[in-house]
Structure 1
Amino acid sequence: MIKNPRQIFWYLLSAMIAFTVGCAERESGQSDTLQKKYSIYTMAEDGQEFLMTADSLSGGRLEPEKSGVKVDPQRIFYELIVHKGYYYRLDAKTQEFLKIGIENKKFTTKSRLKLEGFSAIDNYNWITPDSLLIIGYDDKSAEVKYAKIHLDNMTAVQGKLPLPAPSGGFNWTSVGFSHFMNGQLLVGYTYHAAHDLLGYTTSDTMYVATLSYPALKNLKNYKDHRTTYPGGVNTRQSHFFTDENGDFYFITCPGIALGNNPAKPTAIMRIRKSDGSIDPDYFFNISASPIQNNGYGFWYLGKGKAIVRTERKALFTGMGDHYKVPHFDFYEVDLETQTTTRLNLPLDKGTARQCVIVENGIAYIAVNSDSAGNYIWIYNPENHGLKKGLQLLGQTDYILRIERLN
């Protein structure tokens, strides 16, 4: 049976961990998270997962077993959308979009919205501050589906995007980014061949479709063979952003842990605000830079600088140990000069993590280190200063997510 390629590597990893199902539900009550600034999601050495809230990441200590709330169901750290004190996720089994809060120290479903044809979210994008566009591939119909969700009343309008179906040995489509620009919707995507848990790879081509909005008619198409898998699943971590000039930057992800076409280079590419098109002269080849490896996460620091999270391929043997072996570096990249500088941080572990928050020009970076501890580090790009902030204690093995809650 064909598996969702977005989840294939997670299935391999989760075979080593017990999977817990079930979700508490309440009819009423106010979320305990509405007044806190930050959300922190951790995993303990025994596999238990906890959510905590905090007003500062700059210092102090937290012990999840004492101050956290157990996540229920567990193993959902790849799936969350965090917004205004609530957590949103798609339940693949029921095809329901859930709004979840923390009430009386319990992870509590507040409301449910049925979304036919959705088993996973490839990509989400904000239409307004309280309305959401989610996109995912439906293997039954071989179509890329979308849903425009109004979070205030949990209603949705659904449809399909006019993207060509996979063919020629490919049987899955992944949308790596969607971006509103100049009254149009830009959609970056690629195709996969996915036959079983081990037989998964990605086309050697990336595509960008320009669609009218809201009619969603296909206006033009772009394809590029230099790299593949534009963007990535942004419920897991950031892969794109818009700079101060309105130009849109995205990273491509052909590495073993996402595209599984590591012969292709990881690259940063740009769509210009001026004409809404891929800049043909801009191709920042990360793999050919001093980094010399594939990268995944991509976060904007401001003033033309960004952070890229990159793997060291010499330190792991394959997907079986990719998640648990410390082998990730963080680099500051200069988008204009296309230069790179490694941040002096301990080697990090965890394949895909929402592990960077940038606020007021300061980056908060969660690092899981077997030797140096689990800290949120504070990086100031103005003076390249690095210092330790909040420490996660107890049995913490991974800081899986940090994000702004309110």
Structure 2
Amino acid sequence: MKLFRPSLYFGLLSVLGLLFSCVSPDSSKEILPEYALYLLNEDGSNTFFLKESLQDTGKSLEIDVPSKEFTREYIQKKGIFYHFKERNDYFIRYQLDANNQMVATDSILFKDGYLENYLWKNDTDTLLLFTVEKKTTAHARMYVVDTKNFTLLREEPLPFPSSIVDFNLLSIGVVDFVDDKLWIAYCYSKFLTADDYTTSDTMYYATLDFSSLEVLNLQKDTRSSYPGGINTVQSYSARNEQGDFYFMSCPGVALGNNLTKPTAIFRKKKGMHEVDTSYMLDISSIIHNHAYGFWYIGDQKAIIRSEQRNLYTDFSNHHLTFQFEYYLVDLSTKKLEKINIPLDKGTRKENVLVQGNDVYFAIDSEGNKHEIWRYAIDNGQVERISSVSNSASYILRLGFLK
């Protein structure tokens, strides 16, 4: 839900405009970037750090982001970037041109809203987008976009209640699509004071017919709270090789703020439209902390990113504290193993990239170090492989462009 986004701790980010600018157009032609790191810098500006390789070998190019069109909350697929500009409700398509400048190539006007979640339908060019209205954050809508022709195919409200008792703030947390059925995990929150909120003790899982949006089944789950989160900021779900769907709840201070509930991983088995109530991986009971972010790496293994409650004071310094640890999670045995890389800062980041037998982490560690670390899945070996601009404060995102 937009009102609770921990991205607010960054302030109003300086964001990407219709054109990137670079120092030398000629030199920009010489690099064929395969990776893009999105940075928030010490002076409040944003830049893209384009790299041919995640190692220090190969060329790189840092591109200024001078205007206010593009935030860190974007969708990227095969080198094309999509962004919902909430200031005027346009959904915009961008891509890098031959000079490694980014240009806006088309746009679609949406209704007033905050983008909560997205899903590529069956891994095609069809993109499903889910918003909640800005005024009350109590009503949700679905948009269906053909990204190949960049046309709006469909737009309609989702049939969810605007509130449950006095919890009147709706959050769309996780979305899945199987056999022409739409599955959505959502929850409700409320303000306690002008500066504080909490989330109810119930997660809701709705199965909808995709054609009619009729609710075919509604499941309630009180084992945790706040399923998933805004996945344009951070990943919270994935499907394994057998077709089982896993997702994580995030009731910690940075999202659900219902600290009595555990961060946990849940499972929806292949062919099922209800969550398997016999499965729950209680992360908080193992590491005695909450976590945010879930990245599946294959063979029933995943990465999570956890806070350390003893290192931060409250939400005001949550993002500033070098506290975040990364764990390898075995979804079958329910065992966790800490990965030996430096403590990270920044409450929520999309900074984990899986490629083949390696996992890459973009880490902001003490000593103003902004580095890429590689973790070998086969043997657990870790190594620092490259560094990023010293002017950065946070590496907000790490992505593969191809």
Pick aligned residue for 2:188 from 191, 194, 197: 191
How far apart are 1:61 and its partner, in Å? 8.2
Q: Normalising by structure 1, what TM-score?
A: 0.89
The equivalent of 2:7 in structure 1 is 10
**Residue type at the aligned position of 2:201:** D
Deviations 1:152-179 (A, max 9, x none): 2221121111222213222211111110
The equivalent of 1:162 in structure 2 is 159
Of stretches 322-331 and 47-56 in structure 1, the one that deviates more from structure 2 is 47-56
Q: Normalising by structure 2, what TM-score?
A: 0.90
Kindly indicate whether the alpha-carbon contact (under 8 Å) linking 1:5 and 1:200 is maintained by their aligned counterparts in 2: no
Distance 1:83 1:105 in 2: 16
Uncovered stretches (5+) of structure 1, i.e. residues with no partner: none
What is the aligned residue count?
391
The equivalent of 2:366 in structure 1 is 370
How far apart are 1:86 and its partner, in Å? 2.0
Pick aligned residue for 2:388 from 388, 392, 400: 392
**Residue type at the aligned position of 2:328:** E
Kindly indicate whether the alpha-carbon contact (under 8 Å) linking 1:324 and 1:349 is maintained by their aligned counterparts in 2: yes
Indicate yes or no: 2:268 matched with 1:271: yes
Counterpart mapping for 1:212-223 below 5 A: 212-223=209-220
The equivalent of 1:80 in structure 2 is 74
Distance 1:44 1:5 in 2: 24
Deviations 1:30-55 (A, max 9, x none): x9899632211112222221112223
Pick aligned residue for 1:330 from 326, 329, 338: 326
Deviations 1:217-267 (A, max 9, x none): 100111111101111111011100000010000000111111111221100
The equivalent of 1:261 in structure 2 is 258
Kindly indicate whether the alpha-carbon contact (under 8 Å) linking 1:332 and 1:343 is maintained by their aligned counterparts in 2: yes
Distance 2:117 2:96 in 1: 25
Counterpart mapping for 1:2-401 below 5 A: 4-7=2-5, 9-14=6-11, 20=14, 23-24=17-18, 36-60=33-57, 67-73=61-67, 76-103=70-97, 104=99, 106-118=101-113, 120-127=114-121, 128-140=123-135, 142-156=138-152, 157-194=154-191, 198-289=195-286, 291-371=287-367, 373-401=369-397
How far apart are 1:320 and its partner, in Å? 1.2
**Residue type at the aligned position of 2:160:** L
Kindly indicate whether the alpha-carbon contact (under 8 Å) linking 2:284 and 2:290 is maintained by their aligned counterparts in 1: yes
SS of corresponding position for 2:395 = strand
Percent of counterpart pairs with the same letter?
A: 33
Distance 1:33 1:13 in 2: 33
Deviations 1:92-120 (A, max 9, x none): 110100112345554432221100132x2
How far apart are 1:358 and its partner, in Å? 0.6
Where do 4+ consecutive residues of structure 1 move more than 4 Å? 18-22, 31-35, 74-77, 103-107
How far apart are 1:144 and its partner, in Å? 1.0
Of stretches 91-100 and 390-399 in structure 1, the one that deviates more from structure 2 is 390-399
Uncovered stretches (5+) of structure 2, i.e. residues with no partner: 21-27
SS of corresponding position for 2:310 = helix
**Cα–Cα, structure 1 residues 239 and 275, in superposed 2: closer, same or farther, change >3 Å?**
same
**Cα–Cα, structure 1 residues 60 and 47, in superposed 2: closer, same or farther, change >3 Å?**
farther
Distance 1:107 1:249 in 2: 35
Distance 1:184 1:361 in 2: 33
Distance 2:71 2:259 in 1: 25
Deviations 1:110-135 (A, max 9, x none): 221100132x2111000142120010
**Cα–Cα, structure 1 residues 372 and 61, in superposed 2: closer, same or farther, change >3 Å?**
farther
Bigger relative CO (Cα 8 Å, ≥ 6 apart): 1
CA RMSD of aligned residues (A): 2.5
Distance 2:90 2:338 in 1: 42
How far apart are 1:355 and its partner, in Å? 0.5
Deviations 1:159-216 (A, max 9, x none): 1112222132222111111101233111000011147751322111111001112222
